[in-house]
Amino acid sequence: MKETYAFLKEKTQVNYVATVTKEGNPSLRPFGDPVLYNNKIYVLTNKQKNVSKQISINNNVCIVAYDNENWIRIHCKLIDDSKNLEAKKAMMKEFDWMEEAGYTLNNPNFQILYIVDADVTIADSDGNILTKYQF
């Protein structure tokens, strides 16, 4: 899990999260840095966004990122933990822009999700698998 977090947080600028629309079509969008809290990798979004609505219907996602040498692909589930105020505080402590952007503890649209049932593959640019693991 720590290798996954380090790859997403330290090696890449943007991580891409793929979901499925209610019509069954794929949807992909960039996500910002994750936060490690209580041995879980968290991401944040806004409950009004389509990504949140898609995850609430089907929380199976794929996260992909590239560090100019290697790829990471994470097939996982995202679990809504938005009622966890301590995790939200940790997220806000990490990113000073959040409060100005409207992500306050009392904002009902401030959503945090953590990764579970992760099947992780890291491969080089040629597609050679460097490591595989689960957490």
Helix (H, G, I), strand (E, B) or coil at 117: strand
Q: What tokens were used for 97?
A: 């822009």
- What would the 3-class secondary structure string for 50-89 be? HHHHHHHHCCEEEEEEECCCEEEEEEEEEEECCCCHHHHH
Residue range 117-128, pLDDT digits in tens: 999 999 999 999
pTM beyond 0.85, yes or no? yes
CB 87 within 8 A of CB 79: no
CATH 3.90.550.10 is the classification of domain 2-134: no
Predicted confidence (pLDDT) at residue 13 exceeds the cutoff of 90: no
Of 87, 17, 88, 109, give the one whose Cα is nearest residue 58.
17
Is the separation of the CB atoms in 133 and 120 below 8 Å?
yes
pLDDT of 63-75, one tens digit each? 999 999 999 999 9
Give CA–CA dist 105/55, Å, rounded. Answer: 21
Compute the average pLDDT of residues 52-70. Answer: 97
Q: Which two tokens stand for residue 32?
A: 């910002």
Q: Provide the percentage of residues in the chain whose pLDDT is more than 70.
A: 100
Question: What's the mean pLDDT in 23-51?
Answer: 96
